[in-house]
Structure formats: C-alpha cells, structure tokens
A = this chain, B = another copy of it.
Amino acid sequence: MELNQNRQLITNWLTLSNIQMNISNELECVLQQHHQLALNEFYVLLYLSQAPEKKLKLQQLQNMVGLSQSAMSRLVSRFEAKGCGTLRRHICGDDRRAIYTSLTEEGEEKLKKAFVTFNETLKKAFSKELVQEELERIIHQINE
C-alpha cells in the first residue's frame, strides 16, 4: 500500500515534469523562431506589461520569472542590448541602487504579437488528450 502510493507519487511527478518540460521546450522553440524571443525574455515582457506603469525593479522580476539575481541582471542587460529597444533600464529615482526595467512601445508591440503565438501554442498543448488525462489522474491521486 504505502509502496504503491509512493510509486504513484513519483510517477505523477515525472509525468508532471514531462508535461511541463515538453510545453516549455515547445514555447521556447516557437517564440525563438517567430519572434526571436527566448522564453524567459517573453516572461519579462509579460510581467512588465502587467505591472503598474509597465516597469519593475530587477528584484521583482527575478522573483516572478524565478531566476537568480545575477541571471536576471544579465538577462535584462543582454535583452536591452540586442532587444532592439523593446526594453529599457534606468535607475530608480528614490533609491539609486535599484534598477527599473520598463517596457517601451516597441516592446508592447512585440509582446502583443508574441502573445498570440504563445497562446496558440499553449492552447494546442493543453488540448492534447494525453495531457488532460494525465493531469486529471494526478489530481485524483493526490486527493485521496
């Protein structure tokens, strides 16, 4: 009993991980091909667009996207450098240690287009029967 439950727990976890990984890879691939965007770059744009005044400090971004400090610092730097003006960094007025990252008009345009692709890909991925079945199974087994 106990053993079987453990086995199911692991199986569920592996299934969940696989689903997540496959969809992530798919998103990464599609965004790169159609919009020259890495998945994390897309997330940055997305979170910025949802933020008041469309700007966020590095620290906030890093928590949302789930990257380390240094990784986010470099992601935004790279992105600003090669992102063709989708993004801008500027020093925070009232705390000059902090860096604001803000979305530009071009950035919003770019996000809007990428958003469509992102959504379509996601919808397609989640509508696969296998994924739905597996997710349901996981839920049921977690609950008992």
Task: Give A78-122 as 1s and 0s: 1 = Cβ < 8 Å from B's Cβ atoms.
Answer: 000000000000000000000000000000000000000011001
Contacts of A66 in B (CB 8 A): 17-18, 21
- Chain B residues, Cβ within 8 Å of A143: 132
Nearest CB on B from A55, distance (A): 20
- CB contact between A9 and one of B17, B21, B123, B139 (< 8 Å): that residue: B123
- For chain A, the count of residues having a C-beta within 8 Å of the partner chain is 27
How far is A135 from B20 in the complex, measured between Cα atoms in Å?
A: 13
Q: Tell me which residues across on chain B come within 8 A of A122, comparing CB atoms.
A: 9-10, 13
Residues of B within 8 A of A20 (CB): 16-17, 20
Would you call A33 an interface residue if the criterion is a C-beta within 8 Å of the partner chain's C-beta atoms? no
Taken together as a complex, chains A and B put the C-alpha atoms of A16 and B135 apart, in Å, by 11
A135 and B138 contact, CB distance less than 8 A: yes
What's the nearest-Cβ distance from chain B to residue A13, in Å? 6
Neighbouring B residues of A21 by C-beta, 8 Å:
66
Interface membership of A23, Cβ < 8 A: yes
Asked if A142 meets B138 with Cβ closer than 8 Å, knowing A6-B119, A9-B123, the reply is no
Contact of A24 among B17, B119, B126, B135 (CB under 8 A): B17
